[in-house]
């Protein structure tokens, strides 16, 4: 693993591990490196190793999540290889908080909201998505994505205000769920015949089998977006562009799709623009739902910058010469490192990794 200073274009440090790196997560306080059977927790200020979690069940996909809110730095990872158990870990105090029995099947996706107060999860079946409160691990929302077929969840993400939760899969439909505020007030008595029938129907669910009654109480999607492809891996996010909520979907074939989202009524999201992320410069747009001013034609052209000459490289942590595996480094022993996040109000350093060499991952 190589850590680079994005603004200066220089390498900060590099690290070697005992097996292949499967995923990396970071915020302004912690950096996590997930291997198949262990998780390394680093202090991002000086890149020292704080803790190595060795009692981790086999995690071949490197599934884990880290709260971007560095004031809590909660970490979530699978607690079982055969069931949907989630271990919630405090990355600041370096202690296990709780274990959540989220699903019967194995986990496919987990994600925190921006504040780290909620955790969403989906199993490999992909039919039910659940949201839990943090740190107590209580279920607060349950959504049904579908019933007819099992899917592979590609992406699961909250909006920044935590009002919406978006899920994409290997199908052609992206589902957006609305996290309504749950009130404890007594519901009003229905004033129509259909209202009375609905109340009686919901009361009857208490006498049905648990699986059936649970299904009746699960919320459906607030909004959906129809993709022009299926079977491709994709990543989705909910963003605000020109003060309007938008759904962004990036596909593995190198395209970015932008949809509008009606925050009041939901329904079908309308495709606004399609961008090429591979530098071809092609852009397709819906004239009736155009964005003004137009977005850059190519993402590659937007982020391309002249490369700066490489500066001195700081030697990274070596498992043979560094802290003992599983040892917690006291706060007063933190060395003054080269990474200072208050310098020039910069963002945390980026992490780039490539290759499948056992024991080491390199970046050219």
Q: Residue 274: which CATH number?
A: 2.40.10
- Predicted confidence at residue 40, as pLDDT, reads 97
Task: Assign residue 114 the CATH number of its domain.
Answer: 2.130.10.10
- Predicted confidence at residue 115, as pLDDT, reads 94
Does residue 291 lie in a domain region?
no
* 101 and 45 in a common domain: yes
* 158 and 137 in a common domain: no
Does residue 225 lie in a domain region?
yes
* 106 and 12 in a common domain: yes
- Predicted confidence at residue 108, as pLDDT, reads 94
* 260 and 226 in a common domain: yes
- The answer to whether the CB of 362 falls within 8 A of the CB of 354 is yes
Q: Assign 63 a pLDDT band (cuts: 50, 70, 90).
A: very high
* 128 and 4 in a common domain: yes
Q: Assign 189 a pLDDT band (cuts: 50, 70, 90).
A: low
Does residue 188 lie in a domain region?
no
- Predicted confidence at residue 352, as pLDDT, reads 57
- Predicted confidence at residue 321, as pLDDT, reads 33
* Domain of 79, in residue numbers: 1-150
| Rounded-to-integer distance, Cα 181 and Cα 114, Å | 17
For the CA atoms of 23, 27, 30, 33, the dihedral, rounded to the nearest 10 degrees, stands at 10
* 168 and 118 in a common domain: no
Does residue 5 lie in a domain region?
yes
Sorted by sequence, the CB contacts under 8 Å of residue 209 that are 6+ apart come out as: none
Question: Which run of H or E residues covers position 240?
Answer: strand 234-241
Rounded to 5°, the CA angle 238-242-244 comes to 50
- Predicted confidence at residue 304, as pLDDT, reads 44
* 28 and 142 in a common domain: yes
* 131 and 58 in a common domain: yes
- Predicted confidence at residue 312, as pLDDT, reads 37
pLDDT in tens, 79-123: 999 999 999 999 999 999 999 999 999 999 999 999 999 999 999
Average pLDDT over residues 278-296: 58
| Rounded-to-integer distance, Cα 225 and Cα 114, Å | 23
Among 150, 169, 194, identify where a domain stops: 150
- Predicted confidence at residue 248, as pLDDT, reads 96
| Rounded-to-integer distance, Cα 44 and Cα 4, Å | 12
Average pLDDT over residues 7-33: 93
Among 135, 150, 165, identify where a domain stops: 150
Does residue 348 lie in a domain region?
no
Does residue 305 lie in a domain region?
no
Q: Map residue 249 onto helix, strand or coil.
A: strand
Among 150, 165, 189, identify where a domain stops: 150
Does residue 266 lie in a domain region?
yes
pLDDT in tens, 310-348: 333 333 333 333 333 344 444 443 434 444 444 444 445
* 164 and 144 in a common domain: no
Q: Calculate what percentage of the chain has a pLDDT beyond 70.
A: 65
> Across the chain, what does the average pLDDT equal?
77
Structural domain count, the chain: 2
* 260 and 143 in a common domain: no
- Predicted confidence at residue 49, as pLDDT, reads 94
* 161 and 117 in a common domain: no
* 64 and 102 in a common domain: yes
- Predicted confidence at residue 35, as pLDDT, reads 96
Which one is predicted more confidently, 311 or 219?
A: 219
- Predicted confidence at residue 90, as pLDDT, reads 96
pLDDT in tens, 223-277: 999 999 888 899 999 999 988 999 999 999 999 999 999 999 999 999 999 999 8
Does residue 252 lie in a domain region?
yes
């Amino acid at each position: 693993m190589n850590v680079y200073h994005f603004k200066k274009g220089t390498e900060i440090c590099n690290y070697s591990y005992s097996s292949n790196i499967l995923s990396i997560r970071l915020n302004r306080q912690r950096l996590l490196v997930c291997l198949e059977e262990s998780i390394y927790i680093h202090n991002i200020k000086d890149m020292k190793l704080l803790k190595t979690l060795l009692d981790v069940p086999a995690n071949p996909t490197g599934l884990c999540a880290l709260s971007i809110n560095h004031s809590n730095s909660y970490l979530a990872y699978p607690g079982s290889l055969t069931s949907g158990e989630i271990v919630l870990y405090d990355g600041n105090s370096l202690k296990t908080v709780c274990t959540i029995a989220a699903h019967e099947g194995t986990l496919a996706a987990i994600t925190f909201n921006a504040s780290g107060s909620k955790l969403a999860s989906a199993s490999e079946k992909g039919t039910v998505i659940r949201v839990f409160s943090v740190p107590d691990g209580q279920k607060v929302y349950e959504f049904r994505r579908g019933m007819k077929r099992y899917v592979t969840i590609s992406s699961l993400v909250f909006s920044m205000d935590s009002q919406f939760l978006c899920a994409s899969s290997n199908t052609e439909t992206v589902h957006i769920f609305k996290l309504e505020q749950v009130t404890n007030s007594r519901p009003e008595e229905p004033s129509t015949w259909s209202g009375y029938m609905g109340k009686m129907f919901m009361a009857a669910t208490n006498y049905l089998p648990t699986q059936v009654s649970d299904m009746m109480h699960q919320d459906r999607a607030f909004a959906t977006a129809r993709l022009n492809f299926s079977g491709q891996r994709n990543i989705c996010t909910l963003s605000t562009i020109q003060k309007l909520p938008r759904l962004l979907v990036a596909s593995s074939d190198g395209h970015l799709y932008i949809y509008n989202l009606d925050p009041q009524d939901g329904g079908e999201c309308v495709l606004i623009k399609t961008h090429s992320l591979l530098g071809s410069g092609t852009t397709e747009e819906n004239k009736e739902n155009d964005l003004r001013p137009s977005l850059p034609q190519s993402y590659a052209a937007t982020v391309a910058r002249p490369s700066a000459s490489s500066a001195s490289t700081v030697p990274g942590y070596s498992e043979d010469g560094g802290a003992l595996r599983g040892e917690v480094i006291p706060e007063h022993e933190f060395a003054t490192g080269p990474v200072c996040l208050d310098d020039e109000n910069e963002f945390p350093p980026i992490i780039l990794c490539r290759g499948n060499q056992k024991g080491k991952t390199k970046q050219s």
